[in-house]
Amino acid sequence: MKLTVLGATGSIGVSTLDVVARHPDRFEVVALTGHSQVDVLAAQCRKFHPAYAVMGGAVDAQRLALLLKDAGVRTEVLHGAEALVQVAGLPEVDAVMAAIVGAAGLPPTLAAARAGKRVLLANKEALVMAGAVFMAEARRAGALLLPIDSEHNAVFQSMPHNYAGDMAHGGVRRILLTASGGPFRTTPLDVLAAVTPEQAVAHPNWSMGRKISVDSATMMNKGLEVIEAHWLFNAPADRIEVVIHPQSVIHSLVDYEDGSVLAQLGNPDMRTPIAHALAWPERIDSGVAALDLFAVARLDFERPDPKRFPCLDLGYRALRAAGNAAAVLNAANEVAVAAFLERRLSFLGIADLIAATLDAVPHAAVPDLAAVLEADRQGRAAALDLLDRSGARSA
């Protein structure tokens, strides 16, 4: 299988290449992309010798080209958004790992779907922002969508064989998405206002990038995952429930009409869903240790506290509103998280800014990619304006 890895220098990309390296007889890397981590991408190119490598900007691309030339690696170096789209749709590529975080990952991920590829979907924003457009293009081109988020991959594994989007026909009552609760699950509410970026990115179970770690701390990641589950499994909002499960051993569950509940369990390591999607419908070694149930000893479950995690309710609000609401939600969240990491906004201010942005941007339909990108632009502009006018600063 020939692969393009979008976002190769991030945590998902690194884990993907770890799995790929374990099976050199099965996988060939055709293209790798990274935003600005030149040295990391250079090392990956020296190991996997892709035909193409893509950087975000021209200066980084020039530096990468020089490093690869000096190392004798014959990889063509490209840069920019158009290059990402190009390598996602290469005719010789069979599968695309879509692991670019945020709205920037939408165009190349959509290009992979339009080209009919096996799309390993780690970029949840593609479905959050453009669910209707993305799914329509994937169906038209015959693309195979395989979710990489541990929760959606677990649901995929627990759904009926050949599930085609009809919950009633499959006897499915509910989808249960598990959440760790992040680093502040038990933190007193009156302390949350003083939370620092360093505390927010220290996830208790998973090793993730800074933005995703903050999303886990606010549980906006679950709000986005509820929207993603809606599109992946054709599930209405009231049939998707979030359950806090601190051990992160059960990755999600499917509740059936006959009273059965099927769950997928495993150690919290993203190489498991990555290996599952790479080899599906086969199973291959991922490098993940076998789950020791005796060491786990117990499995706990809690209902999310809406006062502690208001971002989760914002996700449901955007899903039910439909139209441009989810794209605006995602845009506002990216602005808010960036401001928090830059210490321009308090931790509690993240949810406040997102809610205010949803109120500020008029509701509109999003029939095509242009409308989706306009909704994203409006959401960012409104969030930045609200941020500037508030003069918000963290404690």
CA distance 158 to 175: 10
Ordered by start, the domain boundaries in the chain are: 2-147, 155-269, 322-390
CB atoms inside a 10 Å sphere around CB 4: 31
pLDDT lower than 50: segments of the chain: 393-395
Whole-angstrom Cα distance, residue 233 to residue 320?
A: 16
pLDDT tens-place string over residues 227-253: 999 999 999 999 999 999 999 999 999
Collapsing DSSP to helix, strand or coil, 393 comes out as coil
Residue 356 CA: distances (Å) to CA of 241, 328, 347, 349, 384: 25, 11, 15, 10, 11
CB neighbour burial string for 161-188, b if at least 16 within 10 angstroms, e if fewer: eebeeebeebebbbbbbbbbbbbbbeee
d(CA 57, CA 79): 6
**Can you give the pLDDT at residue 162?**
86
- Read off the tokens for 195: 């939370």
Six-digit token string for 146 = 């395989």
Whole-model pTM: value is 0.92
Residue 116 CA from chain centroid, whole number:
20
Cα distances (Å, whole numbers) of residue 8 to 12, 40, 46? 7, 9, 13
Distance, CA of 44 to CA of 17 (rounded, Å): 8
| Spatial CB neighbours of 162, under 8 Å, sequence gap ≥ 6 | none
Architecture of domain 2-147: 3-Layer(aba) Sandwich (3.40)
The pLDDT of residue 394 is 42
**What is the rounded distance in angstroms from the CA atom of residue 358 to the CA atom of residue 351?**
11
Query: Using an 8 Å Cβ cutoff, are 216 and 246 in contact?
Result: no
Parallel, antiparallel, or unpaired for β 76-79 and 250-256? Answer: unpaired
Q: Is the domain defined by 322-390 classed in CATH 2.40.50.140? A: no
Closest to 183 (Cα-Cα) out of 28, 35, 309: 309
Cα separation, 301 vs 26, in Å, equals: 39
